[in-house]
DNA sequence: CTGAAAGCGCTTACAG
DNA sequence: CTGAAAGCGCTTACAG
């Protein structure tokens, strides 16, 4: 395959300057419609499909590429229902605005990725970033929007995790005799399933799961119930397999909880499956709540009690904020969905 | 925010040539370890995080970006379980090989996307492409791999859809008195749910669902059963909502089928839900089979009878083929999973 | 092992 | 409305 034809080549063949070819593609107002049409159709004939991406980007300083920086590996994110909904919303708005989507993970800082960080015109950070990319990208001074976390006065999009979880706990807890447990992810950086220690409780991170936990505790406290650290299970990731392990841990212990507040529907549904295997009836023997209200939660026979957040709308909003240059902190509404499992 | 520091700037400050700075980042063998370390640490101090992406790409002719060209919108693809698994596998291998992932949809041909098509070093096409991007990209002469379709001698990765479906039909059909229906997507280009006409049957496209249908018909024929076009429902997309409409269509007709062969687990699970709403017992009143063996299929109480394909492995294989420059046609193994719904 | 210099393909002010 | 020319930031053969 020989080298592709360039703007200079087609300009010479058509008999105009390169500026005219460039303008035909980029600035229609700079030349007559007739000339523009002629140039464009000649280009098509010659197999020139428009300015070379890297050259244009170098010269103009723009790429029309938006980076979505995920706080976990891409691979994991594709398996997470809420991440998929968010990406759905983002990709819609980007497509509507002729932007390309580059997916990166802040868990990676290879040379190649560091280099690629200079490509996008803007960034959407989804979830608290892990590695060094966040600082590097901030120093680039390009537009950024943060989702599910806040950083100084960067525009951000969040959910009222604390409030929603407080309300949910109040709705799900009957009286002070309830034994309440919690399963959530990312309380710690540990990559194993484990109970929290008393000490862990004094070191909350910026992860949203801590806001949720504090919400649960506040709601529980309102009902006269204390959620002890021993009954709070940390998962590395929002994965069914991990959640099943956590559920077994809780449901086979001497003092079996009769209510498990889960930080996601994925976890809650896994708990329901384990309960079924152990012949525990829901909600008679065990009550379970989720978070997110993913589609599968609505398919469950009992109907999962959970908190709805609109992932697609959240993605759309985040992308819109970036493209419109919004500079404020915004909230996405959430809604309690009280169904059969509590 | 002032302009970012360039290679030229740091070279002057450190007191070496730009070539040395470039080599420190790109070709470690071209200078002594000591000098390289000094250059790198000075760069870090100065806030120079490496060569500018577009400039490097323009000069070197490489971008280290791989494009995954989806046959549907990004938005839809993020909602499809198999697409997500494929992306999971691809993203793993790309990360391992320091490649960035750019997601595009062949349904789009905006100027911005056409321009961006010149950026990647290689392409993975997932599913039969829709618009004009395929031809344009082929003319670029860059490495391509096709997944779930074949084009001339481009390297491809496929599944034996025909064989698997033939076997599945043989396993699921009991005798020639069975009334068999099929629900699948993309038989036609119509964006509505509809029964196929006799005429439609004579115009198979290159979509994999046609191979599957022909496999079903062959297996059925082996059992003395004919699947009539009226009992074959076309869905626009592999979506639960559409599948539920199709299921209602079939289950409420006068001659109710007692076996529905579905082209995906998403469809099959939707059929099971509708059957339950209609108080039909599975498998006594209705048998159902799927395709893919997604995680949810294993969660279903009855255990869905389906065909397993390893989406993550498929993605890994496709990415590996692209990066290693494989030029052959390859197959991913599939496996019948006979469980409770047939 | 290091440096001076050409040029990748384009966009954009500027002169006409 | 059009064209000549500078230069975006880098990589790479080449000379030393």
CB atoms closer than 10 angstroms to residue B230: 14
Q: Which residues pair with A124 in a beta bridge?
A: A68, A145
Phi-psi region for residue B25, left (φ > 0), alpha (ψ -120 to 50) or beta? alpha
In 3D space, the residue among A13, A24, A122, A8 whose CA is nearest the CA of residue A65 turns out to be A122
CB pairs under 8 A between A and B: 162
Given A58, A84, A102, which is nearest B78 (Cβ)? A84
* Burial class of residue A110 (count of CB atoms within 10 Å of its CB; 0-12, 13-18, 19+): middle
Q: Any idea which nucleotide's C1' is nearest the CA of A115?
A: D10
* Three-class HEC string of A118-152: CCCCEEEEECCCCCCHHHHHHCCCCCEEEECCCCC
DSSP A30: G
pLDDT tens track for B221-247: 999 999 999 999 999 999 999 999 999
CB atoms closer than 10 angstroms to residue A131: 14
Q: What is the Cα–Cα distance from B94 to A309, expressed in whole angstroms?
A: 32
Give me the torsion for CA of A254, A258, A261, A266, rounded to 10°.
80
Q: Which nucleotides of strand C come closer than 7 angstroms to any CB of the protein? A: 1-5, 7-13
Q: Which residue is nearest to nucleotide C7 (CA to C1')?
A: B59
Name the average pLDDT for chain B. 94
DSSP B255: S
* Burial class of residue B202 (count of CB atoms within 10 Å of its CB; 0-12, 13-18, 19+): exposed
- Residue A224 main-chain phi, psi, to 5 deg: 80, 20
Q: What is the Cα–Cα distance from B297 to B299, expressed in whole angstroms?
A: 5
> Whats the size of chain B, residue-wise?
342
Instruction: Please give the structure tokens belonging to residue A65.
Output: 């590429």
Q: What is the Cα–Cα distance from A125 to A147, expressed in whole angstroms?
A: 6
Please list the ranges in chain A whose pLDDT falls under 50: 1
Q: What is the mean pLDDT of residues B216-223?
A: 97
Instruction: Please give the structure tokens belonging to residue B125.
Output: 């096409």
Whether A115 and B101 have beta carbons less than 8 Å apart is answered as no
Q: What angle do CA B64, B68, B71 make, to 5 degrees?
A: 160
Instruction: Please give the structure tokens belonging to residue B258.
Output: 């007692």
pLDDT at A140: 86
Q: Does strand D come within 7 Å of the CB of A175?
A: no
Instruction: Please give the structure tokens belonging to residue A277.
Output: 């295997």
SS3 A100: strand
Given A56, A91, A240, which is nearest B78 (Cβ)? A91
Phi-psi region for residue B313, left (φ > 0), alpha (ψ -120 to 50) or beta? alpha
- Which stretch of DSSP H or E encloses residue B201? none
SS3 A158: strand
DSSP A185: E
Pairing, β B65-70 against β A122-126: unpaired
Q: Which nucleotides of strand D come closer than 7 angstroms to any CB of the protein? A: 1-5, 7-13
Confidence band for B1, pLDDT divided at 50, 70 and 90? very low
Domains of chain A: 7-60 (1.10.260.40), 65-159 (3.40.50.2300), 161-310+333-337 (3.40.50.2300)
Q: What is the Cα–Cα distance from B13 to B23, expressed in whole angstroms?
A: 17
Whether B115 and B109 have beta carbons less than 8 Å apart is answered as no
Q: What is the Cα–Cα distance from A16 to A35, expressed in whole angstroms?
A: 10
Q: Does strand D come within 7 Å of the CB of A29?
A: yes
pLDDT at B286: 97
Q: What is the Cα–Cα distance from B268 to B263, expressed in whole angstroms?
A: 8
Instruction: Please give the structure tokens belonging to residue B2.
Output: 């002032």
Q: Which residue is nearest to nucleotide C2 (CA to C1')?
A: B20
Q: Is the pLDDT assigned to residue B259 strictly greater than 90?
A: yes
First to last CA, chain A: 65
Which residue from B minimizes the CA distance to A24?
B111
What is the side-by-side strand order in the sheet with B329-332?
A329-332, A156-159, A144-147, A122-126, A65-70, A100-105, B100-105, B65-70, B122-126, B144-147, B156-159, B329-332
pLDDT at B3: 67
Q: What is the Cα–Cα distance from A304 to A317, expressed in whole angstroms?
A: 27
Instruction: Please give the structure tokens belonging to residue B152.
Output: 């001339």
Q: What is the Cα–Cα distance from A60 to B137, expressed in whole angstroms?
A: 24
Q: What is the Cα–Cα distance from A50 to A1, expressed in whole angstroms?
A: 18
Whether B233 and B261 have beta carbons less than 8 Å apart is answered as no
Q: What is the mean pLDDT of residues B141-154?
A: 95
pLDDT at A302: 77
Q: Does strand C come within 7 Å of the CB of A27?
A: yes
Pairing, β A65-70 against β A122-126: parallel
Which are the contacts of A189, defined by CB distance < 8 A and separation ≥ 6?
none
Whether B314 and B157 have beta carbons less than 8 Å apart is answered as yes
Q: How many angstroms separate the most distant Cα atoms in chain A?
A: 87
Record: contact A115-B139, CB cut-off 8 A: no
In 3D space, the residue among B214, B289, B229 whose CA is nearest the CA of residue B258 turns out to be B289
Q: Does strand D come within 7 Å of the CB of A205?
A: no
pLDDT at B340: 87
Record: contact B74-A88, CB cut-off 8 A: yes
Q: What is the Cα–Cα distance from B201 to B187, expressed in whole angstroms?
A: 9
Confidence band for B208, pLDDT divided at 50, 70 and 90? very high
pLDDT at A3: 67
Q: What angle do CA B219, B225, B228 make, to 5 degrees?
A: 100
Q: What is the Cα–Cα distance from B43 to B39, expressed in whole angstroms?
A: 6
pLDDT tens track for B40-85: 998 888 888 889 999 999 999 999 999 999 999 999 999 999 999 9
Q: Does strand C come within 7 Å of the CB of B20?
A: yes
Place of tokens 């579905």: B262
Pairing, β A65-70 against β B180-185: unpaired
């Amino acid at each position: 395959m020989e080298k592709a034809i360039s703007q200079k080549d087609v300009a010479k063949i058509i008999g105009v300057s390169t500026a005219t070819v460039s303008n035909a593609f980029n600035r229609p107002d700079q030349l007559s419609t007739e000339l523009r049409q002629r140039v464009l159709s000649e280009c098509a004939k010659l197999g020139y499909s428009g300015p070379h991406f890297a050259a244009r980007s170098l010269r103009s300083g723009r790429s029309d590429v938006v980076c979505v920086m995920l706080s976990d590996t891409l691979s994991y994110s594709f398996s997470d229902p809420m991440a998929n909904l968010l990406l759905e919303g983002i990709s819609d708005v980007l497509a509507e605005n002729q932007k390309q989507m580059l997916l990166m993970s802040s868990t990676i800082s290879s040379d190649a990725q560091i280099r690629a960080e200079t490509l996008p015109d803007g960034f959407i950070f989804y979830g608290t970033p892990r590695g060094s990319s966040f600082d590097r990208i901030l120093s680039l001074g390009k537009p950024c929007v943060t989702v599910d976390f806040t950083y100084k006065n960067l525009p951000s999009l969040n959910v009222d995790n604390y409030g929603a979880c407080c309300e949910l706990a109040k709705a799900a807890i009957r009286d002070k005799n309830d034994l309440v447990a919690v399963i959530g992810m990312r309380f710690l950086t540990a990559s194993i399933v484990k109970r929290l220690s008393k000490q862990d409780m004094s070191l909350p991170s910026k992860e949203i799961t801590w806001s949720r936990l504090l919400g649960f505790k506040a709601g529980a406290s309102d009902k006269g119930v204390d959620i002890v650290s021993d009954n709070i299970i940390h998962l590395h990731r929002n994965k069914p397999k991990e959640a099943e392990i956590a559920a077994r841990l809780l449901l086979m212990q001497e003092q079996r909880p009769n209510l498990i507040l889960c930080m996601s529907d994925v976890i809650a549904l896994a708990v329901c499956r384990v309960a079924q295997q152990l012949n525990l009836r829901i909600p008679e023997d065990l009550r379970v709540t989720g978070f997110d209200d993913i589609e599968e939660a609505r398919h469950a026979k009992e109907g999962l009690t959970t908190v709805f957040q609109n992932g697609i709308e959240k993605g759309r909003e985040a992308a819109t904020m970036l493209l419109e240059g919004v500079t404020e902190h915004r909230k996405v509404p959430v809604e309690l969905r009280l169904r059969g499992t509590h």
